[in-house]
Amino acid sequence: MSHQSDLIATDIEAYLAQHERKDLLRFLTCGSVDDGKSTLIGRLLYDSKLIYEDQLEAIKKDSVRHGTTDTEFDPALLTDGLKAEREQGITIDVAYRYFSTAKRKFIIADTPGHEQYTRNMATGASTCDLAIILIDARHGVLTQTRRHSFITSLLGIKHIIVAVNKMDLVDYSQEVFERIVKDYTDFAARLELNDVRFLPMAALRGDNVVHTSEHMPWYTGSPLMHLLEQVYIASDANLIDFRFPVQYVNRPNPDFRGFCGTVASGIVRPGDEVMVFPSRKTSRVKAIHTFEGELEQAMPPLAVTLTLEDEIDVSRGDMLVHPNNIPLIATHFEAMLVWMAEEPLQPGRQYFLKQTTTMAPGVITDVRYRIDVNTLHREDAAQLTLNEIGRCAFALEKPIACDPYRKNRASGAFVVIDRLTNNTVGAGMIIDRNQSFGSVESRLNGPNDSTDPTDPKDPTDPMAEREQALQQHALTVWLTGLSGSGKSSIAERLEQRLHTEGFHAYRLDGDNLRLGLNRDLAFSKADRAENIRRIAEVARLFNQAGLIVLVPVIAPFQTDRQHAAEIVGADRFFEVYVDTPLEVCEERDVKGLYHKARAGEVADFTGISSPYEPPPAPALRLTTVGHTVEESTQAVFQAIAARIRL
C-alpha cells in the first residue's frame, strides 16, 4: 500500500518529497492480557503487504517453534521479539513498528497488557495521538481494560478506537458486541474520552482489520486501516501557546549565538517578541535556522535554532515564550502521578524532577489520594506502589515554567528521577487547579480555575460548595446543528423544564450574544472560532458558579467544538447533535436566511456556502423529524438528569 506509486519509476525525488509531506500518526495498542494486541499489529502489516518476504519466511519458521495460534503464520511474532515474550506468548516491553500507506505515515507502539508492566504501557502512550484499546469478545471489559482506558484519558489521548477482538470465537455475534459497547460506554462516561469509536474484528483472521469482514454484515462502519488513515489529528496540536525549551546553546564562532531546541507548542516567526524564563528578559527573534536553511515560521515538532536580536543570557533549561502568553512559574504544585518503580514512593524523600529540558531537585510532600481504576474513586494512601496512580503535592528547590497538562502536554508533563540510582521512578501530569500553586508564584496573564476532568472534586473546592448550595451538578449542554434544526426551541423549552424541576439553569443564545459580546465578529472561519471560544469561556464561568448552562449554537466545525469542550472541561460538557436534514431546515426557514443564502445575499452560510461537520461521537443525537419539541426536550432531560442531580 505504501509504495504503489507511479512516481517511484518516473521521479524518485518527487516521490520522496511526497512521502515526506505525509502527516504522521502515532498510535498504540493496549488492553488486557491475550486480547490480541500483537496479533492485530502483525495482521495489519501482513494484510497491508508491508512485510518483506524474507521477514515473512523467518516469522513462519518461528511460528512452528513459538507460535500460539496453531497456524502457519503467527502475526504476534512480528512485534514480540524478546525471547521471554515468545516463550510465554506475552508482550513485556514496548515494541515500535514504522510503516506508511499512500495517505499517512504511522508509528505503532505495541504495549504490554499485564498489570506488572503498566509502566511500560504508560511510556508507550505518552507520545501517542490515538489508542486502540482491545477487548476480548469472550471476556468483555476487564480490570486492565479499565486501567489502560484511564491512563489514556490521563495522558490526554484524544482519539480512541475500542476494538472488540476475537469475534470469530463468539460466532460474530452482534448481541455480544453491543453488550460490550454498552459496558465500556458506561465506564468511559466518567473519563475524558471525546472521540471514541467501536469496531468488531477478528485480528487473527483479518476481519475488519484492513478489509471489511463478510462475517459481520451488521457492522456498517469502516475497517481499522481506513479509520487510522482518516482520523483527523491536525487540530490536536497546541499552536496557541508558544513554548521553546532551550536544549543547547550553539556557539560555532564569535559571530553566531543560537539557541537549539524543539518547538514544544505554538508557532514562532522572525520578528516575534519573546520572553526568557526564568529571567523574564525580552528580545525579538532574528532568524529561525535549520540544516536546510532559514524558515519563515516553526511549529511542533520542528527542531530549530533561534537567534535573537539582543545579547541576553539564555542557557539550557530556560524556556522562550511569547510575553502575552506566559506559563505558570511554580515551585509548589499538584500532579497526577503514575508510579513506575518497585520501591514505593516515599513522601519527603529527595527526588529530581525533569520537565522539558529543566532538572529541578525537590520532594513529594504528600500523597493526596490514590485512584481505584475500577471505580475511579479516591482512596486514602500514605504512599504509591508500583503501577499505582495518585494525586501528589510537589515542592521544588527552584521554580519551573510549566502549564497544566490538559492545556499543554509538552510543558505539563514531567518524570521523577531517583537521586541515588538515577532511575526514572514516576511520570506526572500537572493539574489545572490554580490553588495548587504556591502563593509566591503567580500567573502573570490571569488565573485559570478549571479543574482536572479525571480528578474527583475536592469538597473544599469553591465550585463544589456552590453546587452543594444549589443542590445540583454544573453542566454545559451544548446543542449543535444547522440553522432551523430546532436547537434553540429545544433549549428554550429545556430551560423551562429545568426550572420547573427545581434546577438553576441559564440559556446562552448565540443570536443574543452576537448582539452584544460578539458583535465585533463576522462569519469567517476565524471569527466563528473566536465566537465559539468566547461562548465557551462564558459557559465555563457560569459552571463555576454552579449553574447548568444551555448553549444552542450552530458551531459548524468539529475543531471549534473540541476546543469548547476543553475550555469548559470534558466532565461538564454534554454535546447534543440536533440532526435535522438540510431540506427540512430550509422548509422551516423562519428568518428567510436560507433563501438569502441561495440568492447569494448571505456569504459563508452553513449548509449552503460553508460546510457543517457533524459531531462524530456526540453524547446525544436527536432526530427532530417526526418528533415534537416536547419529545426532544424530554429526551435531553432524561439524558442529563442523572448527571445534574446531586
pLDDT digits (tens, 9 = 90+) for 384-430: 998 888 999 999 998 899 999 888 888 999 999 999 899 999 999 99
Strands 358-372 and 424-430: unpaired
pLDDT digits (tens, 9 = 90+) for 556-613: 988 889 889 888 988 899 999 999 999 999 888 777 888 888 888 888 888 888 889 9
Q: Which segments within 314-467 are labelled E, that is strand?
A: 319-321, 328-339, 350-355, 358-372, 377-379, 389-402, 413-418, 424-430
8 A C-beta contact, residue 566 and residue 448 = no
Query: Please, what is the average pLDDT of the chain?
Result: 82
CB atoms inside a 10 Å sphere around CB 186? 10
The whole-number pLDDT of residue 290 equals 93
Calculate mean pLDDT across residues 8-25.
Answer: 72
Predicted local distance difference test score (pLDDT) of residue 77: 61
pTM score? 0.60
Residue-wise pLDDT for 263-297, tens only, equals: 999 999 999 999 998 888 999 999 999 998 999 99
Q: What is the predicted pLDDT for the residue at 268?
A: 94
In percent, the amount of the chain with pLDDT more than 70 equals 83
CB 107, CB 45: distance < 8 Å: no
Task: Check: CB of residue 416 under 8 Å from CB of residue 353.
Answer: yes
Sign of CA pseudo-dihedral 135, 140, 144, 148: positive
- Per-residue model confidence as pLDDT tens digits over 257-267: 999 999 999 99
Q: What is the pLDDT of residue 322?
A: 92
Question: Among 116-125, 322-331, 579-588, which is the least confidently predicted range?
Answer: 116-125
In the chain, the percentage of residues whose pLDDT exceeds 90 is 39
Q: How confident is the model at residue 458 (pLDDT cuts 50, 70, 90)?
A: very low
What single string gives the DSSP state of each residue in 155-213?
Answer: TT--EEEEEEE-GGGGTT-HHHHHHHHHHHHHHHTTS---EEEEEE-BTTTTBTTTB--
Per-residue confidence (pLDDT) for residue 94, from 0 to 100: 60
- In order of their start, the domains of the chain are 7-230 (3.40.50.300), 243-321 (2.40.30.10), 328-436 (2.40.30.10), 463-644 (3.40.50.300)
pLDDT at 81: 47
What's residue 68's pLDDT? 54
On the question of pLDDT at 502 being above 50, the answer is: yes
pLDDT of residue 234: 74
Residue 302 sits at φ, ψ, to 5 deg, of -70, 135
Contact criterion met (CB below 8 Å) for 2 and 101: yes
pLDDT of residue 264: 92
Which residues have C-beta within 8 Å of that of residue 71, sequence separation ≥ 6? 63, 204
pLDDT, tens digit, for every residue of 526-543? 788 889 989 999 999 999
Q: Using CB atoms within 10 A of its CB, is residue 77 exposed (0-12), middle (13-18) or buried (19+)?
A: buried
Q: What pLDDT does 361 receive?
A: 94
| Pairwise pLDDT comparison (443 vs 156), residue with the higher score | 156
Give me the pLDDT at residue 92, please: 40
Residue 493 has pLDDT above 80, yes or no: yes
Are 505 and 644 in contact by the 8 Å Cβ rule? The answer is: no
Across 18-27, 62-71, 125-134, 522-531, the highest mean pLDDT is recorded for 125-134
Give residue 91's pLDDT.
39
